[in-house]
Structure 1
């Protein structure tokens, strides 16, 4: 069986079958494979026109995979790094805002599960949650043992 070289479209579809990719991510991953006479922009335009590349789906995929472990700021940073437009990132921020306390509480419960006994332990817990991208106000509530109100 001869070695079959995948076309740019084939490579893009293979990547998209594994998970949602933004246009920028596909550009970065496919650029090294562009051969003379191939037009990566045109390939990506065609995939976008057929809705194979969809910023909203990329955003939802990241939210689904990452929001249980990360705070809003880290999730939004990841969305921006994928080249998603401001409107898509803003919509994701709105979606995450309401669950920030509950998500931080879950992460804290799994990692620590109890209110710190010493100032050192308190700082350690706060640094951990902050490093995960949770906001200061939420971090303070969680480390004080303030559970999110059940809606």
Structure 2
């Protein structure tokens, strides 16, 4: 059973004039001009606007063949962005999986070596808690929980706590 917003959205799609591939491509290019998207992310956004699934897939295929849409480029940018924001490889891998990026592609960009992830864990910890060493057991547990939640593995932060 649909709620009222879903019914309205469905009726708007049905009442909307038929879109052509140029409109879909233009919308996709507008979204890509703002930031990189994975193919799945872009498809989801376009499906909210247009009901012609075949045309959307055709437009996406054309964007991929024109090198305007690339899951590899998206993954590279996304991993760097989230790492700078203080998130670890476990969390980033989950987010990429939700965005439709393959595990093999994800692993290629997350395998930057444990040293770089240790540095990222240290930076995230210092930003949140400061650089002073941990002396209390409760505080150590609190910081471990924070870093685990952020997606770091134990071997990334055991040396700093």
TM range (shorter): 0.7 to 0.9
1-side partners of 2:121 and 2:88: how far apart? Answer: 7
Residues 10/96 of structure 1: CA separation in 2 closer, same or farther (3 Å cut) = farther
Residues 7/116 of structure 1: CA separation in 2 closer, same or farther (3 Å cut) = same
SS of alignment partner, residue 7 of structure 1 = helix
Higher helix share: 2
1-side partners of 2:137 and 2:115: how far apart? Answer: 29
Structure 1 stretches lacking a partner, 5+ long = 144-151
SS of alignment partner, residue 102 of structure 1 = helix
Count how many residue pairs are aligned between Structure 1 and Structure 2: 139
TM-score, normalised on structure 1?
A: 0.84
2-side partners of 1:86 and 1:73: how far apart? Answer: 12
TM-score, normalised on structure 2?
A: 0.79
Equivalent residue for 1:75?
A: 92
Residues 51/97 of structure 1: CA separation in 2 closer, same or farther (3 Å cut) = farther
1:64 Cα deviation (Å)?
A: 1.9
1:117 Cα deviation (Å)?
A: 2.5
Equivalent residue for 1:50?
A: 66
SS of alignment partner, residue 151 of structure 2 = coil
User: Residue deviations 1:63-85, cap 9 Å, x none?
Assistant: 22111210111111122111112
After the TM superposition, list the runs of 4 or more consecutive aligned residues in structure 1 that deviate by more than 2 angstroms: 35-38, 95-98
Choose from 116, 125, 133 the match for 2:151: 133
Equivalent residue for 1:116?
A: 134
Structure 2 stretches lacking a partner, 5+ long = 1-18
List aligned pairs for 1:87-126, cutoff 5 A.
87-95=104-112, 97-112=114-129, 113-126=131-144
RMSD: 1.9
2:67 is the counterpart of 1:64: no
1-side partners of 2:148 and 2:113: how far apart? Answer: 16
